[in-house]
């Protein structure tokens, strides 16, 4: 089976991706399923810590889905239920997904803020896809969540993605990818991908950054990630996420700690997997910007300053990064088979 880079060759930590791999990444074939598929899951044993984690998630209460509460885990529990249903064909788990989606439709415009919408909404689209739930009402609700409903700050989810260069926009990116893939809107999906790539490679298509630009290597060329080889005052800031690193303070060495950078990465990894499966990969974009950002936090900052590696609900990204880049970071983590704020369940990465 062809994976992220469409080749069995994998990037080893610290090495440069071969140009042939980068070229091949642009032509990955689309796969069935937004997050995974029943056919892929059928190849994975129903045993071990990854299965136990997703099964435990699927057993949680899913009766009160809430896309207004940015810390609500119902979304990822519903996704877990969908994964377990697709693997076992146990209708009890499908029923949990259907009931949750129906309740969201009945609520209509949820109110609140788009940060919560970005964190919460995409998992429901992925779960619905996996169990085969599709109604005109749910499709309309998803479209409205993406483009019509406005939050308390008068922003739609798509506007948040296009303007917020931090974790807000990143989570919006992840959910929008899930929504547009579910709706089969290839034009909209390609458009947000292209917008993101411009934000990575420049020139900036319209992202608005905070006033403190000190983490950018070039304040006249603002990007979502600092470019390859970026240095400032002798410090290596390659892969730094400027608009979320400023949450720990202005540029300095050692940097002031902030978890916002990993929060930003959650939306990015979700979007990257969805786009890969849609045949629109971004893993190699911007000199493998996602790899460089993860390496910066997980390896370089961790070794230089300590306490920067992913922990808690950020650990779910490790199996997905390992799958994409051939890294071996999963072995460093304790909670890697669990979930994050928006997605997770590394069990789905174990299909060969």
pLDDT (tens digit per residue) in 114-139:
999 999 999 999 999 999 999 999 99
**Nearest alpha-carbon partner for 14 in 223, 311, 294:** 294
Higher-pLDDT residue of 8 and 147 is 147
pLDDT (tens digit per residue) in 54-93:
999 999 999 999 999 999 999 999 999 999 999 999 999 9
pLDDT of residue 318: 97
In 198-229, which positions are buried (b, 16+ CB within 10 angstroms) versus exposed (e)?
A: bbbbeebeebebeeebebbbeeeebbbbbbee
pLDDT of residue 352: 80
pLDDT of residue 25: 52
Q: 113 and 153 in contact (C-beta within 8 Å)?
A: yes
For 52-56, 322-326, 333-337, which range has the lowest pLDDT when averaged over its residues? Answer: 333-337
In DSSP notation, 28-46 reads PPP-SSSS--HHHHTTS-S
Residue 343 has pLDDT above 50, yes or no: yes
What's the mean per-residue pLDDT of the chain?
93
For a pLDDT cut of 70, what percent of the chain falls above it? 91
Give dist(CA 32, CA 39) in Å, integer: 9
Mean pLDDT score, 183-199: 99
pLDDT (tens digit per residue) in 5-39:
443 333 444 444 434 444 445 558 999 999 999 99
pLDDT of residue 49: 95
Mean pLDDT score, 336-350: 97
pLDDT level of residue 1 (50, 70, 90 thresholds):
very low
Number of CB atoms found within 10 A of residue 288's CB: 24
Q: 337 and 53 in contact (C-beta within 8 Å)?
A: yes
Would you state the structure tokens that stand for residue 333, as one six-digit string?
Answer: 């983590």
DSSP label of 111: -
Residue 94 has pLDDT above 80, yes or no: yes
pLDDT of residue 332: 64
Give dist(CA 116, CA 341) in Å, integer: 10
Q: What residue has token string 């889905």?
A: 65
């Amino acid at each position: 089976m062809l994976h992220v880079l469409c080749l069995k060759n994998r990037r080893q930590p610290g090495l440069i991706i071969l140009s042939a791999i980068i070229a091949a990444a642009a032509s990955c074939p689309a796969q069935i399923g937004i997050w995974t598929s029943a056919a892929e899951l059928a190849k994975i044993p129903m045993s071990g810590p990854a299965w136990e984690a997703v099964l435990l998630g699927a057993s949680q209460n899913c009766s009160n889905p809430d896309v207004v509460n940015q810390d609500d885990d119902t979304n990822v529990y519903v996704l877990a239920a969908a994964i377990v249903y697709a693997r076992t064909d146990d209708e009890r788990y499908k029923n949990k997904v259907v009931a949750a989606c129906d309740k969201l439709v009945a609520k209509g415009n949820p109110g609140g803020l788009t940060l919560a919408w970005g964190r919460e909404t995409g998992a429901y689209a992925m779960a619905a896809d996996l169990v085969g739930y599709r109604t005109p009402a749910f499709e309309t609700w998803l479209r409205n969540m993406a483009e019509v409903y406005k939050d308390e700050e008068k922003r739609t989810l798509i506007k948040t993605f296009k303007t917020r260069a931090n974790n807000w926009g990143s989570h919006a990116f992840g959910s929008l990818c899930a929504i547009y893939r579910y709706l089969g809107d290839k034009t909209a999906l390609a458009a947000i991908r292209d917008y993101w790539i411009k934000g990575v490679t420049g020139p900036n298509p319209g992202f608005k950054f905070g006033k403190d630009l000190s983490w950018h290597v070039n304040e006249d060329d603002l990007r979502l990630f600092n470019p390859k080889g970026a240095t400032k005052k002798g410090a290596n800031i390659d892969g730094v996420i400027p608009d979320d690193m400023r949450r720990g303070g202005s540029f300095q060495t050692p940097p002031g700690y902030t978890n916002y950078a990993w929060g930003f990465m959650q939306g990015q990894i979700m979007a990257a997997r969805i786009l890969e499966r849609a045949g629109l990969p971004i893993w190699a974009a911007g000199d493998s910007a996602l790899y460089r950002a993860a390496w910066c936090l997980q390896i370089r900052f961790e070794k230089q300053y300590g306490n920067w590696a992913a922990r808690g609900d950020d650990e779910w990204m490790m199996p997905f990064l390992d799958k994409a880049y051939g890294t071996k970071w999963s072995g460093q983590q304790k909670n890697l088979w669990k979930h994050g704020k928006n997605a997770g369940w590394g069990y789905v990465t174990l299909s060969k």
